[in-house]
């Protein structure tokens, strides 16, 4: 029997609350399939670990994760630990260290999910973001000069390499071809006169290999407007790290909320493990109450099943989430229900 080694990093706040439930769903999946099983290793890394040990994960953390088949992560961040430390030393360290250069984030409005846009039907919101996940605005290049002096200066560089742009754009073209849908590149070449002009150029260059793919290019300001006014114009979208971060929270908002949005951090070459997570954060405002929505984490399990080569299970999980949204019997308060985190997962498990 095939065994998948899963590194589980629950993290902070609602992270452990939703990941616990996602793991129960995975155990049920393995039981239902009968052909594979999961071997979970839990890592207690995060802000508690930082306050006890002075670091977010041990120095050899990446080595410990390296041999797993996938990483399943909750969320990172706690109000009493600076965010740039907690995120850079754990989540971003894994994304960068394992060259997970594609962040795949579906924005799909399921039946029964609440859409705040007037007159929009589920089939109108069905897009997939391919967010650059290794460099760009998140390259971490810069300086802080003359600290606390009147002439203080900070510099935050965007780093856009030919290799980095080409590979993520090519991935997006392949995906659009496979899904037989359009590809929209979102950039900002009118103002960012080096990085985004380069990005636009590479989008055109790579596109020569994909004459069959219908392409569009949008400026990020107009793109955010169209996501609200006319979401059905989007199929696959490729964009930079920061733009992808912002637009996918907007995407979550139009597709039912943060409690539903999932993302896969992929190392498509397979050199390193990929990581699956909800896109939301540690939600300190609701942590510890047992009411966090686990569906985003469960959707991330669907992405993991796709990644492992079980698309039928990936689809089944999405179908079950949709059934639960339509039935409205087991929804957490963010979706207008009264169920607990565990009760929502129980409903998913019962259907599996
Ligand atoms: P957030 O996503 O944690 O919360 C935003 C809002 O959405 C809150 O009102 C929260 O209650 C709600 N929400 C989020 N997930 C929910 C769920 N599953 N069920 C119900 N409601 C949910 O974003 P934030 O408040 O900006 O950030 C909080 C912390 O999380 C910060 O430290 C931030 O840096 C961190 N963060 C981490 C990740 C990650 O680890 N991947 C992602 C985003 C933010
Ligand atoms: C996300 C998060 C992260 C990001 C933060 C926590 C660094 O917002 O996964 O969307 O910006 O990528
Ligand atoms: Mn984000």
CATH class of the domain at 115-255: alpha beta
Which of 90, 133, 281 to mutate to test ligand 1, by most ligand atoms within 8 A of the CB atom? 281
Q: Which atom of ligand 1 is nearest to the CA of 75?
A: 40
50 CA distance to ligand 2 centroid (A)? 19
pLDDT of residue 82: 97
264 CA distance to ligand 2 centroid (A)? 12
Strands (E) located in 101-171: 102-108, 126-132, 136-145, 153-159
Ligand 1: lining residues by beta carbon, under 6 Å:
14, 18, 75-77, 83, 87, 91, 258-259, 277, 280-286, 292-293, 296, 334
CATH 3.40.718.10 domain position(s) in the chain: 1-104+261-352, 115-255
Q: Is 59 exposed, middle or buried (0-12, 13-18, 19+ CB in 10 A)?
A: exposed
Q: What is the mean pLDDT of residues 181-194?
A: 98
245 CA distance to ligand 2 centroid (A)? 6
If you take atom 11 of ligand 2, which residue's CA is the nearest one? Answer: 245
pTM higher than 0.95? yes
DSSP 112: T
Ligand 2: lining residues by beta carbon, under 6 Å:
87, 91-92, 245, 279
Q: Which of 182, 215, 187 is nearest to 200 (CA)?
A: 187
329 CA distance to ligand 2 centroid (A)? 31
pLDDT of residue 250: 98
pLDDT (tens digit, 9 = 90+) per residue, 281-293? 999 999 999 999 9
| DSSP per-residue letters across 227-296 | HHH-GGG-SEEEE-HHHHHHHHHHHHHHTT-TTT-EEEEE-TTSSS-EEEEESS---TTTTTSS----HH
| N- to C-terminal Cα separation, the chain | 20
pLDDT (tens digit, 9 = 90+) per residue, 15-37? 999 999 999 999 999 999 999 99
CATH of 1-104+261-352, one of 3.30.1490.20, 3.50.40.10, 3.10.300.10, 3.40.718.10: 3.40.718.10
Rg of the Cα atoms in the chain? 20
Q: How far apart are CA 97 and CA 249, in angstroms?
A: 24
The band of 77, judged by pLDDT with boundaries at 50, 70 and 90, is very high
pLDDT (tens digit, 9 = 90+) per residue, 83-142? 999 999 999 999 999 999 999 999 999 999 999 999 999 999 999 999 999 999 999 999
91 CA distance to ligand 2 centroid (A)? 8
**Which listed ligand is nearest to 246 at the C-alpha?**
3
Which of 77, 250, 334 to mutate to test ligand 1, by most ligand atoms within 8 A of the CB atom? 77
Q: Which atom of ligand 1 is nearest to the CA of 76?
A: 40
CB 105 within 8 A of CB 265: no
Strands (E) located in 112-239: 126-132, 136-145, 153-159, 183-187, 215-219, 236-239
CA angle 230, 232, 235 (to 5 degrees): 130
Q: Which residue do the tokens 């047992």 mark?
A: 290
Paired sense of beta strands 183-187 and 36-42, if any: unpaired
The band of 216, judged by pLDDT with boundaries at 50, 70 and 90, is very high
pLDDT of residue 245: 98
337 CA distance to ligand 2 centroid (A)? 27
Q: How far apart are CA 245 and CA 78, in angstroms?
A: 19
Q: How far apart are CA 184 and CA 170, in angstroms?
A: 13
Q: Which atom of ligand 2 is nearest to the CA of 241?
A: 12
Q: What is the mean pLDDT of residues 217-245?
A: 98
281 CA distance to ligand 2 centroid (A)? 8
């Amino acid at each position: 029997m095939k065994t998948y080694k899963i590194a589980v990093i629950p993290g902070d706040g609602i992270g452990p609350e939703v990941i616990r439930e996602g793991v129960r769903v995975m155990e049920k999946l393995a039981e239902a399939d009968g052909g594979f099983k999961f071997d979970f290793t839990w890592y207690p890394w995060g802000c508690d670990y930082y306050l006890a040990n002075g670091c977010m994960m041990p120095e050899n953390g990446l080595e410990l994760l390296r041999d797993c088949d996938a990483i399943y992560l909750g969320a990172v961040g706690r109000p009493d630990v600076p965010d740039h430390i907690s995120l850079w030393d754990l989540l971003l360290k894994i994304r960068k260290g394992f060259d997970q250069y594609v962040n795949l984030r579906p924005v799909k409005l399921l039946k029964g999910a609440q859409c705040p846009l007037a007159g929009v039907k589920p089939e109108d919101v069905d897009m997939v973001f391919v967010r650059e996940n290794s460099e760009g605005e998140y390259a971490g290049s810069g300086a802080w000069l003359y600290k606390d002096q009147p002439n203080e200066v900070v510099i935050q560089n965007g780093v856009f390499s030919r290799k980095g742009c080409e590979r993520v754009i090519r991935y997006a073209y392949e995906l659009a071809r496979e899904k037989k849908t359009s590809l929209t590149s979102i950039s900002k070449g009118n103002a960012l006169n080096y990085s985004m002009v380069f990005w636009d150029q590479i989008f055109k260059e790579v596109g020569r290999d994909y004459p069959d793919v219908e392409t569009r290019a949008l400026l990020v300001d107009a793109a955010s407007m169209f996501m609200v006014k006319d979401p059905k114009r989007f199929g696959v979208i490729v964009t930079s790290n920061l733009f992808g971060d912002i637009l996918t929270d907007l995407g979550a908002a139009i597709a039912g909320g943060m409690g539903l949005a999932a993302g896969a951090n992929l190392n498509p070459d397979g050199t390193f493990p990929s990581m699956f997570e909800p896109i939301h954060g540690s939600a300190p405002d609701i942590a510890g109450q047992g009411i966090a929505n686990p569906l985003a984490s469960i959707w991330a399990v669907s992405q993991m099943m796709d990644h492992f080569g079980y698309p039928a299970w990936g689809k089944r999980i999405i179908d079950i989430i949709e059934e639960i949204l339509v039935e409205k019997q087991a929804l957490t308060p963010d979706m207008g229900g009264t169920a607990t985190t565990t009760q929502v997962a129980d409903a998913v498990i019962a259907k599996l």
